[in-house]
Amino acid sequence: MNETLSQNADELAPIFIVGPPRCGTTLVAEILGAHPNLFFPSETHFYEEIRAGAGKGLIKSKTQKGDRALDDTLGLFRKYQYEEDWKRVETPGFREQVEKSWEEQGPGLPNLFHAFMSLQAQNEGKLRWGDNTPRDVFHLKQILTDFPNARILICSRDPRDFLLSYQNKWKKTWHINQSRIRALYHPLTTTLLWKSSMRQLEVLNQNCPQENWMLVRYEDIVANPEETVREICKTTGIKFHSELLDVKTNNSSFESKNAEGIFRDSVGRWRKDLPREESWFPERFAKNEMRLLNYPTEGASDVGKPSAWKLLRQFMRFPFALLSAIRSNRSKIGPLVPYLLRRVAPMLRRP
């Protein structure tokens, strides 16, 4: 039996926003979430937490495995501490609604996820749902198997600005998570995360019709917001509204929490705020991907040369930083070996 979603009409096709974190995924979700027909909750992590570990065979509702999958899905927002979202899915009767909708649609985790997301959308008065989970970039093939008509927006950003933002990501998290987030950063591991994510463009080229996906560069949103958002609307099949450009929140690592809008001064900020011994790593280890996405490395000479001694220190720190990152993030990554393989495999493919 095919586990592909039973009902997947083009006009209601789900929208997945993926890519490296700190590269505009939250901004794009905020923009599209302002559309009167679109519902975007916080990051679900369904594919990493539920779908990836399900194994073979259809999971049916009202079975022991089905009950566990349903409960785990309903618990995702609480696990990742999205309070507004977990309150929405923990309202009385919502579990029963999801279970009934899943049973009507048929067995399989794609139908569970569709029931979970579409019922939230309906309860918010929206017709169509989308998912903004950056790490789903490593699950694109499975997503396109489950939702063949899905629209995919893969976000990108100059990896040096990405490093700078990722380095300061802890400032935008709950205080109980700040030490864990700070432990995740090292210029080499973060560069490889960006490189591996961008290598997933090949998955889209091979498995998704060109008209169903779009590369969204953060720099393009900042420089030409209306033009870029119109292209996003065209790809996702929705009507452009000027209100989409009226961004009410911000997820910047640097701006005040009370600031709103799209911040232009975050582009190229690495030149003055990122140490040369860190900006060197993407220029060395992700050079091909940078060129492919029109992020030039030639102009970096104006920020000086890195210190050989400081580079050596970074390389010496790398194994310890990697182990620290894995240990700090252990509760968030599920089975370790599959998690690492999903991130390493794209870099092993020939570009």
More confident residue, 266 or 70: 70
Would 295 be classed as within a structural domain?
A: yes
Would 297 be classed as within a structural domain?
A: yes
Predicted model pTM? 0.90
Would 64 be classed as within a structural domain?
A: no
Would 81 be classed as within a structural domain?
A: no
Domain that holds residue 205: 10-37+127-348
Q: Which residue has the tokens 């992020």?
A: 295
Q: How far does CA 13 lie from the centroid of its chain?
A: 18
Q: What is the CATH number of the domain that holds 303?
A: 3.40.50
Residues 6+ apart with CB under 8 A from 33: 39, 40, 130
Which stretches does DSSP call E strand in the chain?
A: 15-18, 38-39, 128-132, 151-156, 213-217
> Range with the lowest mean pLDDT among 173-187, 207-221, 251-265, 268-282?
251-265
Q: What is the pLDDT of residues 251-287, one digit of tens each?
A: 555 555 555 567 678 899 999 999 999 999 999 999 9
Would 99 be classed as within a structural domain?
A: no
DSSP assignment, residue 245?
Answer: G
Q: What's the mean pLDDT when you consider all of the chain?
A: 88
Would the pLDDT of 114 be above 90? yes
State which amino acid sits at residue 216: V
Q: What is the pLDDT of residue 180?
A: 61
Would 116 be classed as within a structural domain?
A: no
| Tokens describing residue 158 | 């100059």
| Tokens describing residue 243 | 């209100």
- How many angstroms separate the CA atoms of 187 and 300, rounded? 16
| Tokens describing residue 232 | 């996003």
Would 303 be classed as within a structural domain?
A: yes
Would 80 be classed as within a structural domain?
A: no
How many domains does the chain fold into?
A: 1
| Tokens describing residue 155 | 């976000």
Q: What is the pLDDT of residues 7-58, one digit of tens each?
A: 446 778 999 999 999 999 999 999 999 999 999 999 999 999 999 877 666 8
CB atoms within 10 A of CB 346: 20
Would the pLDDT of 188 be above 70? yes
